[in-house]
Amino acid sequence: MEIVKQVLYSGIQPTGIMTIGNYIGAVSNWNKMQNDYDCIFGLADLHAITVRQNPSEYRQKAISFFAQILACGLDPEKSIVYFQSHVHQHAELQWILNCYTYVGEMQRMTQFKDKSIKHEENINMGLLDYPVLMASDILLYKAALVPVGIDQKQHIEITRDIAIRFNGIYGDTFVVPDGYYPTLGAKIAGLQTPTGKMGKSDADPNNAVSIIEDPDSILRKFRRAVTDSDPFVSFDLLNKPGISNLLTILSAFTDVSIESLVNEYADGGYKRFKEAVGVAVVEGLSPIRDKYNTYMSDKSQLMDIAKQGALRASHIAEKTLSKVKRKVGLVEKARLN
Measure the CA–CA gap between 180 and 90, rounded to whole angstroms.
22
Alpha-carbon distance values, 335 to 41, 53, 330, 332 (Å): 29, 37, 15, 9
What lies within 8 Å, CB to CB, of 260 at 6+ separation is none
Residues in the chain: 337
CB 62 within 8 A of CB 15: no
CB 129 within 8 A of CB 94: yes
Nearest to 277 by CA among 232, 238, 225: 225
Largest CA distance in the chain: 74
Alpha-carbon distance values, 19 to 149, 250, 291, 319, 326 (Å): 14, 15, 16, 35, 42
Q: Which residues form the catalytic set?
A: 115, 197, 200
CB 70 within 8 A of CB 306: no
By three-state DSSP, how is residue 2 classified? Answer: coil
Measure the CA–CA gap between 316 and 318, rounded to whole angstroms.
6
Alpha-carbon distance values, 57 to 61, 69, 81, 137 (Å): 6, 18, 22, 25
By three-state DSSP, how is residue 197 classified? Answer: strand
Measure the CA–CA gap between 300 and 177, rounded to whole angstroms.
35
